[in-house]
Amino acid sequence: MQTSMQYKFTYKDIHRMLPGIIGTYIIMGVLFYALGLPVLGLLNTAGGAVLLLLRLTGLTRRTKMASLLIFLQMLLHLAAASFTLGSYSGFYLYIFIYPIFGLVSFSKKEMMVVIPISALAFSACVFLPPPDTGALSYSALTIFFGLNAAAMAGFSFYVFYQYFKRNQELLGELNRMAFFDMLTGLCNRRAMTSLLKERTSGKLLLLDIDDFKKVNDTYGHPAGDEILQSLAGIIQQEMPPEGTASRWGGEEFLLYLPEATVPETNALFQRILKRFARLTYPGMALSVSGGACALADPPYHSFSCADNALYQSKTNGKARLHWAELSS
């Protein structure tokens, strides 16, 4: 996963774009051959073959190397086409590829190299060759200009579309990390706290796995993670549709039941307790203790109340539910 808040293109993106670039080289090569320009045709065909080899050998995994090779090859092709056909052919438009790609991929230091080189290449391809060398008719040059402009527009659209799409995916992943527990799939403490700040009624049920430290000490943390996931699955299956379950921390789970009565909350706890106890683990009897209370405003009073009730359940023998009254 990306560690930055902003998505940067990787070798996978270059790998994905290469077929389109190779296809463009081949189409241009065929056009040049058909127009009686074998040198440009050979140059484009060879360029497409090099990029195809780059893709097949997996060298695109070395992102900077692949980018440099494509950049140098592109400059060679643009210079050859511009000086052979003239600046009216519009091949200089492709020089904008790297500044555009760099905006969503390169660091500031790399852009300080790319932009000056691109500016020099653009000036050389626009101002040094004549507008029309006579190699093609004016109408043919106009067609080439249109093709090149369309190709650049398509490339720009693709790059920015992928960039914004990936950033939306990254933002979604960051939101999931911020508000959901990655191990159990339940919402986390932050999400539950935010939710309860907006609620004024309902019941809270705080669950804690009994003797969970023994599980980690005896069987290791992978076994503990498996048990946490199993309990989270049971909770999700037993929760009423309007309720919300969270991993409150460690082996604690906080359930918010906005419409449940006391008997309904008791019944929910018993279902969870019985199903969890039926899980078989060598040498381990699995159980949960619970503390419950009504939700109050501000909610942190309720958190403390549920925690105190949970403590009473542990003190009184575990595998049971204790209700507590809110204190002012």
Candidates 110, 238, 251, 252; catalytic one:
251
Q: What are phi and psi of 205, to 5 degrees?
A: -130, 115
Q: What are phi and psi of 37, to 5 degrees?
A: -120, 75
Question: What are the structure tokens assigned to 186, written together?
Answer: 């339940």
131: number of CA atoms within 13 Å, CB side?
A: 3
SS3 at position 324: coil
Q: Are 180 and 191 in contact (CB under 8 A)?
A: yes
Q: What are phi and psi of 272, to 5 degrees?
A: -65, -45
**Annotation marks residue 169 as catalytic:** no
Q: Give every strand in the sheet of 288-294, ordered side by side.
A: 244-249, 252-257, 203-209, 288-294, 321-323
- Strand pairing report for 244-249 and 252-257: antiparallel
Q: Are 131 and 87 in contact (CB under 8 A)?
A: yes
Give the catalytic positions in this structure.
Answer: 251
